[in-house]
Amino acid sequence: MAQRTWFITGINSGFGRHMTEQLLERGDRVAGTVRNINSVDDLKAEYGDLLWTAQLDVTDIPAIYKVIDQAFSGLGKIDVVVSNAGYGLFGAAEELTIEQITHQLNTNLSGSIHLIRASLPHLRALGGGRIIQLSTVGGQAAFPGGSLYHATKWGIEGFTEAVMKEVAPFNIGVTIVEPGGARTNFRHHGSKIGPKLDAYEISPASGARRILEDSKAVSLGDPAKMVKIMIDSVDQHPAPKRIVLGSDSYQAIHQALSGRLQDLEAQKEQAFSTDYPEDNPSVTYKL
């Protein structure tokens, strides 16, 4: 297997760490970003020049473009860009602070958008490549207590799905990954909770808080298995549009999509009734 070079944000923990370890172990090169440059010293010591690192907070938009430029320039070629950095913000919408909302949007949505935009000129110049956008089951199914997290993930999925059509002529494949719960540190270290409002004790939104505060809760997903599937997807042509990982993700997305389709079908006659009569010109949009 030919050596590939990967650019991955947030390699110090979670899926980013698992992916980096698997790639380095098999001999690929990784350009990884972290907020704390010393957080992957162990990997640098073990793998040396195979690991290129840069400090990056994805809320810093100018820094995203600078680091991407440095990585492509310094490494000569990057085959796969993985937009992984992000975290979960939970609590009812009314419970969240303005600062929390802004930071969540700037990290998960704006940061991911600009990472992809910064990468595209380089990938086009190289004649193609792959982009993998980490999303979640929460990018297709919505749960009370996750409104802002869902806003970022539904938003980045819409952006990414449009981009995958825009860049197809340039031989750039784009994949959205939708994992369910996994045994990473996401629950306790990759998530934040809004200030508690007692009024929401009777709301189902309080369930999200209880799950995060439950130290004994265990997720179903094996992150090592999930990451291997993400890595292997780069060998698929064309690139898969979406990868669903975990039985919980499959079941929740299946239920959500089935319900949405049922609701849509029930409105078919009403939707068509708002068109102009057939003898008038109309415009057909193809998605």
Catalytic residue, candidates 47, 110, 119, 149: 149
- Segment 89-97 shows an average pLDDT of 94
Question: pLDDT tens digits for 165-198?
Answer: 999 999 999 999 999 876 666 555 567 888 999 9
Residue 56, SS3 per DSSP: coil
Cis-peptide, bond into residue 281, ω within 30° of zero = no
Q: Which two tokens stand for residue 252?
A: 């929740």
Return phi, psi of residue 85, to 5°.
-60, 135
- Segment 96-121 shows an average pLDDT of 97
Identity of residue 50: L
Per DSSP, the residues of 81-112 read EEE----EEES-GGGS-HHHHHHHIIIIIIHH
pLDDT at 280: 56
- Segment 228-237 shows an average pLDDT of 96
pLDDT at 171: 98
Task: Report the distance separating Cα 274 and Cα 286, nearest Å.
Answer: 18
* Phi-psi map region of 145: left, alpha, beta (phi>0 left; psi -120 to 50 alpha): left
Q: Which residue has the tokens 């079908």?
A: 265
Q: Is 112 one of the annotated active-site residues of the chain?
A: no
- Segment 125-151 shows an average pLDDT of 95
Residue 48: CA atoms inside 13 Å, Cβ hemisphere, count?
2
pLDDT at 272: 93
Tell whether the model's pLDDT for residue 51 goes beyond 60.
Answer: yes
Q: Does 233 or 2 have the greater pLDDT score?
A: 233
- Segment 58-76 shows an average pLDDT of 97
Residue 210, SS3 per DSSP: helix
Which candidate, 91, 85, 40, places its Cα nearest to that of 59?
85
Catalytic residue, candidates 47, 83, 110, 153: 153
* 260 contacts: CB under 8 Å, gap ≥ 6: none
Catalytic residue, candidates 119, 135, 147, 206: 135
* Helices of type H across the chain: 14-25, 41-47, 61-75, 98-104, 111-126, 147-166, 186-189, 206-213, 223-232, 247-266, 268-273
CB atoms within 10 A of CB 35: 14
Task: Report the distance separating Cα 13 and Cα 127, nearest Å.
Answer: 31
Per DSSP, the residues of 144-167 read TT-HHHHHHHHHHHHHHHHHHHHS
Question: pLDDT tens digits for 123-132?
Answer: 999 999 999 9
Task: Report the distance separating Cα 96 and Cα 195, nearest Å.
Answer: 6
Per cent of the chain over pLDDT 90 is 81
- Segment 14-28 shows an average pLDDT of 95
pLDDT at 279: 63
* Beta carbons of 194 and 97 less than 8 angstroms apart: yes
pLDDT at 259: 97
Tell whether the model's pLDDT for residue 257 goes beyond 70.
Answer: yes
Q: Is 47 one of the annotated active-site residues of the chain?
A: no
Report angle CA 159, 161, 162 to the nearest 5 degrees.
65
- Segment 269-279 shows an average pLDDT of 87
Mean pLDDT value across the chain: 91
Task: Report the distance separating Cα 180 and Cα 243, nearest Å.
Answer: 11
Task: Report the distance separating Cα 204 and Cα 257, nearest Å.
Answer: 21
Q: What confidence category does residue 71 fall into, taking pLDDT thresholds of 50, 70 and 90?
A: very high
- Segment 133-159 shows an average pLDDT of 95
Q: Which two tokens stand for residue 29?
A: 């090169």
Q: Is 282 one of the annotated active-site residues of the chain?
A: no
pLDDT at 282: 56
- Segment 104-122 shows an average pLDDT of 97
Per DSSP, the residues of 171-204 read TEEEEEEEE--BSSSHHHHSEEEPPP-GGGGGST
Per cent of the chain over pLDDT 70 is 91
